[in-house]
Amino acid sequence: MPNDWPETPPSTDIFADDLLDGETALITGGGTGIGEEMALAFADHGADVAVASRDMDHLEPVAEAVEEKGQNACATTVDIREKDEVDAMRDTVLDELGDISILVNNAGANFLTPLEDLSANGWRAVVGTILDGTAYCTMSVGDYMIDNGGGSIIAMGATNSVHGAPFHGHSGAGKAGVHNLMQTVASEWAKYNVRANTIAPGIIETEGVTEAAGGALPEQILDTVPADRFGTAGDCVPLAVFLASDASAYVTGSYYAVDGGHLLLPSPY
């Protein structure tokens, strides 16, 4: 019997409007999906927001929406696989917004393929974006945070980082590396007041995910999700707002699955 679970309430309904006043967030992959919804939610709660990706056409509407909410915005293109471009992105955001106190490593890449068909170029494209890109952004922005009183780093992981998943060998390995990296950052940089946490979405129905799945998520996958529904981009937003804020001042090195119970053992009933 399906669970009658409510949709996750919008973050604007459960947090104070000024929760992120005075903060400045940089969100990679901020032009679509989860990154876009985080950008708008952060602005709703008083943060200035920079969004970055390789496609300015996606970024500009998000930046305009942030400004319509009364916050300052920045849109800048970047290939996070290139360290020089990451440093340039950081400098652009600092020039335009004056600070970065929140970093969301949201940019990702994926396509479905069995390992025996995975080429070296395919491996590098996915792992380079997920793991190298997250590392470059973390180290680049982290240098600034260390010298400027700290900050909150949020990495978007995935539940396939803690178990194998067919056709996700490259992305799962990359996300597992991200999880470990955030724990190391949390351990080493706590003395600088830099916090690092991982949000691990389960099966989230975004445009990118459905494209990777060939246009639609197979309905039989729902049998593995106790909540009996696929997640939405908005399901990840309230947790991100919490981790970005001082409400989570004593939270670092943690891993949060947002998956409707997908990681749990299947029920025998």
- The verdict on residue 12 lying in a domain is no
Q: Is the pLDDT of residue 75 over 80?
A: yes
Residue 16: inside a domain: no
| CATH code (residue 221) | 3.40.50.720
Between 82 and 112, the more confident residue is 82
Residue 127 has pLDDT above 70, yes or no: yes
Pairwise pLDDT comparison (181 vs 110), residue with the higher score: 181
User: For residue 171, is it within any domain?
Assistant: yes
> Whole-model pTM?
0.92
pLDDT, tens only, 168-219: 889 999 999 999 999 999 999 999 999 999 999 988 886 666 665 565 666 7
Residue 134 burial (CB count, 10 A): 28
Domain range for residue 65? 23-258
Determine the 3-state secondary structure of 38 from DSSP: helix
**Share above pLDDT 90 across residues of the chain, in percent, rounded to a whole number:** 74
Residue 65 covered by a domain: yes
Q: Is residue 240 part of a domain?
A: yes
Which amino acid is it at 163? H
Residue 93 above 60 pLDDT?
yes
For the cut 60, the answer to whether the pLDDT of residue 2 exceeds it is: no
pLDDT at 32: 94
- Phi, psi of 34, deg, nearest 5: -60, -40
Question: Does 103 have pLDDT greater than 90?
Answer: yes
- 128: which 2 tokens? 């380079």
Residue 212: predicted pLDDT: 59
Q: Does residue 202 form part of some domain?
A: yes
Average pLDDT, the chain: 91
Residue 185 located in a structural domain: yes
Query: By CB neighbour count within 10 A (0-12 exposed, 13-18 middle, 19+ buried), where does 113 fall?
Result: middle
Instruction: Give the confidence band of 13 by pLDDT, cuts at 50, 70, 90.
Output: confident
Domain count for the chain, please give it: 1
Q: How confident is the model at residue 1 (pLDDT cuts 50, 70, 90)?
A: very low
* SS3 (DSSP) at 156: strand
- Tell me the pLDDT tens digit for each residue of 45-59: 999 999 999 999 999
Cα–Cα distance for residue pair 127/113, rounded to 1 Å: 14
Residue 7 maps to a domain: no
Averaged pLDDT for residues 100-121: 95
First to last CA, the chain: 10
Instruction: Give percent of the chain above pLDDT 70.
Output: 90
